[in-house]
Amino acid sequence: MPPAKARPARAAKAPAAKDDRLDLAVYGATGFTGRLAAEAAERAGLDFILGGRDESRLRGVAAELGGEHPYQVARHDDPTELRALASRARVLASTAGPFAEVGELAVAAAVDAGTHYLDSTGEVDFMAQTFRRHHEQAKRKGIVVINACAHEYVFGDCAVSLALEAFPGTREMRVSYWIPNKAITRGTALTTLRMFSSPLFGAHQARPAKVRFPQPPGDTWVVSYPGGEAELLRRRRPDVSITTCMDVPHLVARSAPAMPALGMLMRLPGVGSAAQRFIESRPAGPPADVRARQEFVIFAEVDPGLGGGHGIAVRGTDPYGLTGELLARCARLLLRGENQAAGVLSPSEAFPPGPLLDSLADLGVSWERV
């Protein structure tokens, strides 16, 4: 008989709840990111339930986690099932996307149940919709809703807030992402495809630029895209303009003005669906050894039009692993009542940005003023 698989040591449990609900419901637990979130929740010592639409796959994930955690079927189009799942936990963390297609009822169920809500979306239109539809009710109920509780926008949003604190006269910002190894999950690829096909992308004028990142990588070509930082920042600092960029090869940067044509191509009959079928045939996500080599730098740069090169830089590795950890650790902060406010909030509105980043130092995350 093969030796039993070693199980990770569990951290000290979060403080006991005042009611009989579980700490956390992980919705989309059979997906790539959902599984990472469940594993991180186990390491964080949380009592949680696994949720998703496929009972056999949920049973399999529960068994792989040692059979210690319950599971419950909740289809994304069934508000009764989602409400039942949300009612069993004090925090609902959703990784089920594309969120604009399948995410709205999960948010509504959590808010209706008086349950804190986190998700891993990167979809700007879904973030705007969530704020528009649910902020006032969540605020009245004293619960927190955080979209994009994931690697990119937690770090980007916290870096923006820290930069505005360090450089109070700032009126323009640029958040640039350097991720040289862009191995992505199937879910991220589907979200990206949807973004390229959306009117938001079609209306955006992609612009190339050379950014002076701190070392590494130094001077790097980037191209702008409609990122979530603008949606998150406008709610608290509408006086500051902001652009989001991603590192690209120089040739791609030079071709940036033609990018809206790609969106038009994706909207042609049959083209988008063919691309979707191809993506769905790919592996669920990068293996652990590839993720471990995915280093990144996120640079929140102040007043780039005046020379740039100054701001806040966040560094780390394994974006997807960090997303799972962020969902679990932010859930633990909510369970402890460490949120600063209630409503639909950005990460840096919900928690102090410096301490939040510092709390991830054991995972290799660091930040600095440059």
- Render pLDDT for 270-283 as a digit per residue (tens, 0 to 9): 777 787 787 777 77
Which residues lie closer than 8 Å to 158 by C-beta, 6 or more apart? 314, 347, 348, 353, 354, 356, 357, 367
Task: Please check the confidence at residue 80 and state whether its pLDDT lies above 50.
Answer: yes
CA angle, residues 151, 153, 155, in degrees to nearest 5: 65
Higher pLDDT, 143 or 258: 143
pLDDT level of residue 240 (50, 70, 90 thresholds):
very high
pLDDT band at 308 (very low <50, low <70, confident <90, very high): confident
Mean pLDDT on 118-140: 96
Check residue 274 and give its pLDDT.
81
Fold exhibited by the domain 152-319 = Dihydrodipicolinate Reductase; domain 2 (3.30.360)
pLDDT of the residue at 157: 97
Q: Strand, coil or helix: what is 268?
A: coil
Would you kindly state where each structural domain of the chain is located, as residue ranges?
Answer: 22-149+322-351, 152-319
Is 215 or 157 the better-scoring residue by pLDDT?
157
**Which of 6 and 194 is assigned the larger pLDDT?**
194
Q: Please report the pLDDT score of residue 258 as a whole number.
A: 64
- The model's confidence at residue 337, banded by pLDDT at 50, 70 and 90, is very high
Predicted confidence band of residue 199 (pLDDT cuts 50, 70, 90): low
pLDDT for the residue numbered 23: 98
Tokens representing residue 284 in the block: 């669920």
pLDDT at 260 over 70: no
Helix/strand number for the chain, H first, E second: 17, 14
**What pLDDT score does 16 carry?**
45
Q: Summarize pLDDT for 162-187 with one digit per residue, the tens.
A: 999 999 999 999 999 999 988 888 77
Measured CA to CA, the distance from residue 235 to residue 229 in angstroms comes to 10
Provide the pLDDT confidence category of residue 146 given band limits of 50, 70 and 90. Answer: very high
- Where do the H-state alpha helices sit in 244-318? 250-254, 259-266, 271-280, 288-291
| pLDDT above 50: residue 6 | no
- Report the pLDDT value the prediction gives residue 17, as an integer from 0 to 100: 44
Question: Over 80: is that where the pLDDT of 341 sits?
Answer: yes
pLDDT at 8: 42
Q: How far apart are CA 205 and CA 6, in angstroms?
A: 51
Q: Are 213 and 219 in contact (CB under 8 A)?
A: yes
Mean pLDDT of 279-298: 88
Residue the block writes with tokens 């191209």: 223
**Superfamily covering domain 22-149+322-351:** NAD(P)-binding Rossmann-like Domain (3.40.50.720)
